Chains A and B, each alone.
Chain A
Amino acid sequence: MSADTNMPGRAERQFPAGPPQGKLAPSGGSAVREATSVGAQFPAGPPQGKLAPPGGSAVHAVTSVGAQFPAGPPQGKLAPSGGSAVHAVTSVGATLLLQVRDLATEFATRSGPARAVDGVSFDVHAGEIIGLVGESGSGKSVTGYSILGLIDPPGRVAAGSVKLDGQELVGMPRSKLRALRGRRIAMVFQDPMSTLNAVLKVSTQMELAMRAHGKPSKQEMRQRSLQALAKVGIPDPERRLDAYPHELSGGMRQRVAIAIAFLNNPGLVICDEPTTALDVSIQAQILVEMRTLVREAGVSLVWISHDLATVSVLASRLLVMYAGRLIEEGPTGEVLRRPHHPYTQGLIDSLPSRAAPGKDLLQIPGSTPSLTALPSGCAFKDRCAHATAVCDTAPQQTVAPPRTWRCHHPLNMGAPTTAQGTR
């Protein structure tokens, strides 16, 4: 009963028999990516993806936590990395949880289709926190929504694949998606006031989330709610359970939203700018609580934000998006210290903390291009100081684990990498 039955023919494409087939990431340099992630994770992949549970291999030492999850869904057992020495991404040997390949999401607009997300591919492993960074309109939030199947017309996922535990989510029937949402995969949104139902008590909202995925007793639900609230640092959870959202502060509301997301022990939580609306001190509290929560529960996080500094507090891996494309990826410390893409460099340089006080900041000229009128070739070329004639052709993705980039003139290529990844 896997998604493959719904999509004949897809299986072959998604699980290439041999690693270097270059089908999944047609954007070039794909051979390497194939060899490292896809091929390794679904070796000689039978489409069902029903592989053996983690075999206690030494490779798994890093994420013992990851072992908890594959027990979750009956549909698609997750493939452990069967001897994946090749897999060079930070979480060596960690269980592959989410696999996004060539995701493209379009919105029909009056001036033609706008590709908000265009050919985005990445992996999330069990227990890993990845940061998805970009400015408004870069497609970072739409990527998050696309994973959960939350794109409504006039938008649609136009191409690509999203696999959770090896199970295809794109094209999955709504009822099946509903069963997954909130249980295996959950989301925390930016504004807790509009996420929470204003006329229901916190306890009712938490009960709804639990009853959507089972028939727990009243007592059990209360117990679980109290635990969840306490875990996100809500003082006096007994009292808060009977509160309405308007009786809580912004920080408390966001904590309730986070507690609800974690209620059913999901494997993956997508957080879309969850601290942007909050004050610095409350943001710091939530960041630290999140870190503990992730360590204890072994959950994977996709942390979407426009703020490089905030993301880098939590994320071990950074994905940078520009105009719908993933333009750079790598371990957080490496990307921030030695960005390869001029846009990433520009983002870092334009932070006020990067210049001497009172001196002009380095700025990226111009503004983000409209998605309906993207320049041909590299979307960043008009704002880029390094652009040449070759930038009129779209740069292919270069993969050099643990990093990838999409640029004809990558920066900071000289110095050798020091440490492999930050964890």
Chain B
Amino acid sequence: MSSQTHFIGLNTITRRFASIPPFSERLAKRITGQKASTTVVHAVEDVSLSVAKGETLGLVGESGCGKSTLGRVAAGILAPTMGQAHIDGAAVMRDGRKNTTRVQMVFQDPFASLNPRMRIGDTIAEGPIAHGLVKKADAAADVARWLKAVGLDAEAAQRFPHQFSGGQRQRVAIARALAMRPDALVCDEPVASLDVSIQAQIINLFLQLRRDLNLTMLFISHDLSVVRHVSDRVAIMYLGRIVELGATEDIFLSPHHPYTRALLDSAPRLAADGAPVQDIRPISGELPSPINPPSGCAFHQRCAFAQPRCSQELPVLRSLGEPREVACHFPLAQQGEPL
């Protein structure tokens, strides 16, 4: 277990959210002598992942699959219910508090993630000053440096978030994260709210920063083409669990999990010559509720290849004799082959 291969380490992470029923309901239950039941959302269940230094791991899934929750656990914003997140061998959280500044986060919506009442320069300098990474006197020069790194003018420091476009704001949000001198970035849908032409600029910025700063990244997105472009490896999540993990091109060219394949088949895309692909094949049904996850494989109700066993036994993530892991009893391209 060298720190090289486990730079970001997520060990058997489980995160559940309990929602307490409203007062009226609890009162009614008490009067009738019943026990008030809390509903539990199983956001992330027993996920183990590791990201090597300098590597970018793409985390893909639909809304509600737990990818953002997992990202927040990795970034030390959210304490896991069970398990532990590490960076370079050190725990990211200790006693429910974030323990390190070495992992930073870039959020989806730069309109919500920047304080509208703070000048950009103050937003960027606040963290480094508070953590003693920069002296107050040097803060201005430091801010200018990071603004330059993300392609903005130094005079932007004097302005407020509303004076920037969406793409520029996302650059500011990235500069804020970088000013903390992180070794790793957790990016939660960082380009989802941007226009296509701006999205390309920000993706290029990420690629350049990764080269220049040797950043390790956990890149969360629902957009398959974006993830394919930036990631070295990809993890596909479904209802709180990782269903497939492997090198990006391997997964995109020959998906083994039926969900991965269905996801790829249902994404609108253009052919190599630019021709539209009109043959998209949607997955039937909807994501089941994470409050009452289905028994066995969570995907079995929507899976075209499901067998009786799939509804009874939970498939574990297992290696298929290559640097690829799949959580499926009957992985594709290996049909009929018993475990």
Contacts and interface: CB of A to CB of B under 8 A. Distances in A.
Contact of A357 (B166, B199, B248, B286): B248
Given A306-B195, A347-B196, A348-B270, A360 B204 contact: yes
Contact of B224 (A280, A310, A312, A422): A280
A348 B274 contact: yes
Interface stretch (B81-89, B107-115, B226-234, B304-312): B226-234
A350 to B, nearest CB: 3
B270 A336 contact: yes
A71 interface: no
A15 B51 CA distance: 67
Contact of B273 (A309, A337, A363, A368): A337
B225 to A, nearest CB: 4
Contact of B282 (A285, A306, A308, A361): A285
Interface string B153-166: 00000000000011
A332 B277 CA distance: 11
Given A313-B280, A352-B228, 19 more contacts: A279-B222, A280-B224, A280-B267, A281-B263, A282-B282, A282-B286, A287-B268, A287-B280, A287-B282, A306-B195, A313-B276, A333-B276, A349-B200, A350-B197, A352-B223, A352-B226, A353-B225, A357-B229, A363-B200
B281 interface: yes
Nearest to A354: B270
Nearest to B302: A281
Given A279-B222, A288-B280, A309-B269, A135 B229 contact: no
A357 B249 contact: yes
Interface in A324-358: 332-333, 336-338, 346-355, 357-358
Contacts of B137: none
B199 A350 contact: yes
Nearest to B280: A284
A336 B196 CA distance: 15
A251 interface: yes
A62 interface: no
B254 interface: no
Contacts of A376: none
A249 interface: yes
Contacts of B223: 352
B293 interface: no
Interface in B128-149: none
B303 interface: no
| Closest 5 pairs (CB-CB, A-B) | A312-B276, A284-B266, A350-B200, A284-B282, A352-B229
Specify which of A281, A313, A353 lies most central, judged by the most chain B CB atoms within 10 Å of its CB. Answer: A281
Given A135-B195, A362-B200, A336 B224 contact: no
Contacts of A310: 268
Contacts of B62: 279-282
B225 A332 contact: no
A416 to B, nearest CB: 15
A281 B248 contact: no
A281 B197 contact: no
B198 interface: yes
A340 to B, nearest CB: 13
Contacts of B270: 308-309, 312, 336, 348, 351, 353-354
B286 A249 contact: yes
B262 to A, nearest CB: 7
A332 B196 contact: no
A353 B268 contact: no
Nearest to B201: A363
Interface in B202-218: 203-204, 207-208
A309 B226 contact: no
B63 interface: yes
A308 B271 CA distance: 12
A283 B267 CA distance: 8
Contacts of A280: 62, 222, 224, 263, 266-267
A360 B200 CA distance: 8
A251 B268 CA distance: 17
A352 B198 CA distance: 12
A282 B268 CA distance: 12
Contacts, number: 143
A254 B249 CA distance: 34
A6 B190 CA distance: 51
Contact of A364 (B200, B228, B229, B273): B200
Contacts of A284: 265-268, 280-283
B167 interface: yes
Interface string A142-174: 000000000000000000000000000000000
A389 B6 CA distance: 56
Contacts of A348: 270, 274
A404 B203 CA distance: 32
A355 B199 CA distance: 14
Interface string A209-225: 00000000000000000
A281 B269 CA distance: 13
A333 B266 CA distance: 19
A363 B197 contact: yes
Nearest to B232: A358
A86 B40 CA distance: 65
Given A280-B222, A352-B228, A135 B196 contact: yes
B1 interface: no
From B168, B204, B248, B281, name the one whose CB has the most chain A CB atoms within 10 angstroms: B204
B31 interface: no
A367 interface: yes
A307 interface: yes
B333 interface: no
Nearest to A337: B274
Interface string A259-303: 000000000000000000001111111011000000000000000
B335 interface: no
A353 B286 contact: no
A271 to B, nearest CB: 15
A368 B203 CA distance: 18
